[in-house]
Amino acid sequence: MPGPRLAAALTAILWGFTYLVTTDMLPPHPTQAAALRALGGGAFLLAIGREALPRTWLWRLFVLGTLNTGIFFVLFFIGAMRLPSGVAAIFQALGPIATLLFAWALLHRRPSGAQFASLILGAAGVTLVVLKSSAALDPIGVAAALGSMVALTLSGILMNMWGRPPIGFAAFFGWQLMIGGIELAILTALNGDYGGTADAMTLGAFALLAVVLTGVPFLLWFRAISMIGAVDVMPFILLTPVTALVIDAVVKSVVPTPLQMLGIVVVIAALLLNYRASQPKA
């Protein structure tokens, strides 16, 4: 298992592929996509963990599963499907700043000026990477993208507050995905947001999304949070839109503009600045 910072970086890079899979390989049904992603990822992790749901943590798992799966997944897909050109990633880039604020309010961990500066710099870099003058800012998509960011951020802070669970990491995160997946399946049935052709490409896309882009990254991401804290992990989310830009260039032959290249440099500089600001002083 890689170290926590390397795990966080790998997770953010893997999540960068989610935009391509969502927009090019899945039917346009966000709650269906969210439900299948959660249930598939949860089943994968529970097959590895093979531990029962702990009664003492039942309500905490329900809260965490609702936040980082039930709410996060469906709002993420709504934002990704309604905001073209990766604009939703701009709002995800605000996650590190929101993490600092939540940690200050709930964990009483006062952020340094350098930490704030690095995260604002990172958000600016992501804006250069993904925002285009022709991008349409759909109000529902904007609200969904912001909501997904807040849900994921808050779940990471709550994990820090509650400490280690009485089961292994694979089962811990697997049960969260299953809880959120069941909520999303019920929502999908109620709102009728399902359909599409069940061909080999679609089934393969859902398998890729559930295992490679959900099960494995969830295990890496939240394990890193449990080891070094959400404040130190969340800035790596800035790598997600940068990855999406590189994928567009390679797969879709979308040549990055000079401003987008500048944005990549700014994001990397922000991560380095944040890392230095997070280190204990000698």
17-21, 85-89, 161-165: the lowest-pLDDT one: 85-89
Return the closest-CA partner of residue 39 out of 158, 214, 193: 214
pTM, two decimal places: 0.85
Q: What is the pLDDT of residues 176-228, one digit of tens each?
A: 999 999 999 999 999 998 887 778 888 999 999 999 999 999 999 988 988 88
Residue 175 reports pLDDT greater than 90: yes
Q: What is the pLDDT of residues 144-157, one digit of tens each?
A: 989 999 999 999 99
Q: What is the pLDDT of residue 70?
A: 95
Would you list the domain boundaries of the chain?
4-275
Residue 170 reports pLDDT greater than 90: yes
The average pLDDT across 155-183 equals 92
* Residue 233, CA distances (Å) to 53, 76, 220, 271, 274 in order: 27, 19, 11, 10, 10
Alpha-helical (H) ranges within the chain are 4-16, 18-25, 30-49, 58-65, 72-82, 88-92, 95-106, 113-130, 139-162, 169-191, 200-207, 216-228, 230-233, 239-251, 258-278
CA separation for the pair 219, 172 (Å, rounded): 9
Residue 86 reports pLDDT greater than 70: no
Q: Confidence band (pLDDT; 50, 70, 90) for 7? A: very high
Using only the alpha carbons of the chain, give its radius of gyration. 18
The average pLDDT across 159-185 equals 93
Q: What is the pLDDT of residues 246-275, one digit of tens each?
A: 888 888 887 778 888 898 889 889 888 888
Q: What is the pLDDT of residue 84?
A: 59
- Across the chain, mean pLDDT equals 87
Residue 100 reports pLDDT greater than 80: yes
The average pLDDT across 233-250 equals 85
Of 84 and 262, more confident = 262
Q: What is the pLDDT of residue 157?
A: 93
Q: What is the pLDDT of residue 281?
A: 64
Of 54 and 86, more confident = 54
